[in-house]
Amino acid sequence: MEKKKTLLRSLPKVDECLNRILAQLSGTVPQFVVKKCIQKCIDQERLAILENPESRISLSNDEWDELFIDTINEKYDYNLKCVYNCTGVVIHTNLGRSLLPSDAVHQLSRAGSSYSNLEFDLRTGKRGTRYSLVEEIICDLTGAEAALVVNNNAAAVMLVLDTFAKGKEVIVSRGQLVEIGGSFRIPDVMAKSGAHLVEVGATNRTHVKDYKAAITDETAMLLRVHTSNFKILGFTSDVSPEEMVQLAREDSLITMEDLGSGSLLDLSRFGLVKEPTVQEVVKAGIDVVTFSGDKLLGGPQAGIIVGAKDIISQIKKNPLNRALRIDKFTLASLEAVLRIYYDIPKALQQIPTLKMLTVDISELKKRAQRISRRIKQHLNGMCDVQVLPVDSKVGGGAMPDCNLPSYGVILKPHEYSLHSLEDSFRHLEIPIIGRVENERYVLDVRTIQDEEVVGLSAAIISFFS
């Protein structure tokens, strides 16, 4: 009791600290920001004392000042920070999914600093539509008749269902009722769009006859959902896009496929799992196909909708489309990424997501050795450093059963626990995000860029010295 009172009484007064800190910062930070930060520190300490006085000690003026200055500096740093992705997960949703190729970054910055023909038709001088900037390219690449882009794939699915299935029935195989992290569940999205979900088949097997038996006068669509993040193995059977299209034509129903990742390339020749490409699904005759811009495509966050002309034109007219529209930065960078796909070898070299997924294992080994060589002698006696084979993941819910052979720089610190190393690395100026597995800290080099090797190594050395 007594300790609590003494500690509370020893808390400094905001105004007394203010002038001292302002003088230290010599006018570089506005007074109200400084005051706010000081107030925040003192309030937090007061709360901590009230909660558990035994755990607190009274701080000296110097200690308080350090706390204030740290808090002010933190406030002045960007909240969105660049990090080193050493997880080996290429399409890491929490770390921003795809990195953009340099052409796309260039276009982004031009779109930001200059006026553009975003919605202005330069031929006629009249109002244009933003989608027309990428529609033809998407059609060229996918073989579709028409295309539209919206904020993300979740929005794309919502918009299509809202356009064609509001108050009507949509038939989906039970094995495809997926949840894609971040609370995107197909049944919930359907409910929100006002479509009634009709589940058919069993979890592992669905047949054409199951769909056929479920079709009623209320049926609007047959929907396939790509089961991106899980795989049903063993005794399974699925209705192919071709079979679905044939069935739908008999009853004039609309077919839709939510492809999720939506690759434009078959990556199986690089040892990745065979995924249906957008072109294949379009060719099978599915009326409307949706996929993400920032998963296997390797572009900015976007939802791409491709399909038959009359279908896409109805979607374009849906007022919800206006609410889900993409901004000029997305369009600028998406156009740049899509253009690269006209030349596939170039795409594999220039689009970071594709490059990281298809990089030769010998390159990865060399990269790991470069890092190890740089840091090893400096960490001598403080941390063991080894280069070992590891497995990386595609991420983004794509190819869940695919382990990509990679190389890791393995750290075994002597004085830190793995947990505290992981925590400390996360708090560095440029945070290092690695993996703790099998009693070791792994820096998987698949997701480390060549340009990052020097900076990353220096950051690790400086942490230990």
Tokens (6 digits) for 51: 């909660």
Which residue lies nearer to ligand PLP by CB, 201 or 395? 395
Identity of residue 426: R
Rounded least distance, CB 88 to ligand PLP, Å: 19
- Applying CB under 6 A, which of residues 184, 185, 431, 449 lies at the interface with ligand PLP? 184
- Applying CB under 6 A, which of residues 276, 299, 395, 397 lies at the interface with ligand PLP? 397
- Applying CB under 6 A, which of residues 169, 258, 287, 444 lies at the interface with ligand PLP? 258
Rounded least distance, CB 282 to ligand PLP, Å: 17
Q: Using a CB cutoff of 8 Å and minimum separation of 24, what contacts does 68-75 make?
A: 68/17, 68/21, 68/34, 68/37, 68/38, 68/41, 69/21, 69/24, 69/25, 71/37, 71/40, 71/41, 72/21, 72/25, 72/29, 72/33, 72/34, 72/37, 75/33, 75/37
For residues 144-173, which are near ligand PLP according to CB under 6 A? 152-154
- Applying CB under 6 A, which of residues 7, 134, 180, 433 lies at the interface with ligand PLP? 180
Which residue lies nearer to ligand PLP by CB, 274 or 346? 274
Which residue lies nearer to ligand PLP by CB, 397 or 434? 397
- Applying CB under 6 A, which of residues 130, 226, 435, 440 lies at the interface with ligand PLP? 226
Q: Looking at 41-49, 133-141, 222-230, 419-427, which segment touches ligand PLP (CB under 6 A)?
A: 222-230
Under the binding rule (CB under 6 A), the answer on residue 276 touching ligand PLP is no
Order the strands of the 435-437 sheet from edge to edge: 89-91, 383-395, 398-413, 440-444, 435-437
Under the binding rule (CB under 6 A), the answer on residue 225 touching ligand PLP is yes
387: DSSP letter: E
Which residue lies nearer to ligand PLP by CB, 225 or 445? 225
User: Residues for the chain: how many in total?
Assistant: 465
Q: Looking at 225-233, 374-382, 435-443, 448-456, which segment touches ligand PLP (CB under 6 A)?
A: 225-233
- Which position has the token pair 């509001």? 166
Which residue lies nearer to ligand PLP by CB, 150 or 445? 150
Q: Looking at 122-130, 220-228, 368-376, 432-440, which segment touches ligand PLP (CB under 6 A)?
A: 220-228
Which residue lies nearer to ligand PLP by CB, 153 or 392? 153
Helix (H, G, I), strand (E, B) or coil at 146: strand
Rounded least distance, CB 104 to ligand PLP, Å: 17
Under the binding rule (CB under 6 A), the answer on residue 228 touching ligand PLP is yes
> Can you tell me the distance from the alpha carbon of 88 to that of 100, in angstroms, rounded to the nearest whole number?
17
Which residue lies nearer to ligand PLP by CB, 70 or 188? 188
Under the binding rule (CB under 6 A), the answer on residue 300 touching ligand PLP is no
- Applying CB under 6 A, which of residues 88, 175, 241, 260 lies at the interface with ligand PLP? 260
Those residues whose C-beta lies under 8 Å from the C-beta of residue 443, and which sit 6 or more positions away, are 86, 371, 408, 409, 410, 411, 432, 434, 456
For residues 362-381, which are near ligand PLP according to CB under 6 A? none
**Packed helices 453-464 and 361-376: angle between N→C axes, nearest 10 degrees:** 30
Which residue lies nearer to ligand PLP by CB, 135 or 258? 258
> Can you tell me the distance from the alpha carbon of 301 to that of 153, in angstroms, rounded to the nearest whole number?
8
> Can you tell me the distance from the alpha carbon of 136 to that of 147, in angstroms, rounded to the nearest whole number?
8
Which residue lies nearer to ligand PLP by CB, 228 or 277? 228
Which residue lies nearer to ligand PLP by CB, 93 or 449? 93
- Which position has the token pair 């006696």? 381
Contact 184, 128 (CB under 8 A): no
Closest residue to ligand PLP: CB criterion: 260
Is the backbone of residue 409 left (phi > 0), alpha (psi -120 to 50) or beta? beta
Which residue lies nearer to ligand PLP by CB, 224 or 374? 224
> Can you tell me the distance from the alpha carbon of 295 to that of 154, in angstroms, rounded to the nearest whole number?
13
The count of chain residues that interact with ligand PLP, using the rule CB under 6 A, is: 14
Nearest to 351 by CA among 312, 422, 298, 280: 298
Under the binding rule (CB under 6 A), the answer on residue 400 touching ligand PLP is no
- Applying CB under 6 A, which of residues 303, 307, 352, 395 lies at the interface with ligand PLP? 303
Rounded least distance, CB 80 to ligand PLP, Å: 18
Contact 380, 76 (CB under 8 A): no
Instruction: Give the strand pairing for 303-307 and 146-150.
Output: antiparallel
Rounded least distance, CB 444 to ligand PLP, Å: 22
HEC assignment per residue over 389-447: EEEEEEECCEEEEEEEEEEEEEEEECCCCHHHHHHHHHCCCCCEECEEECCEEEEEHHH
Binding stretches for ligand PLP (CB under 6 A)? 152-154, 180, 184, 225-226, 228, 258, 260-261, 292, 303, 397
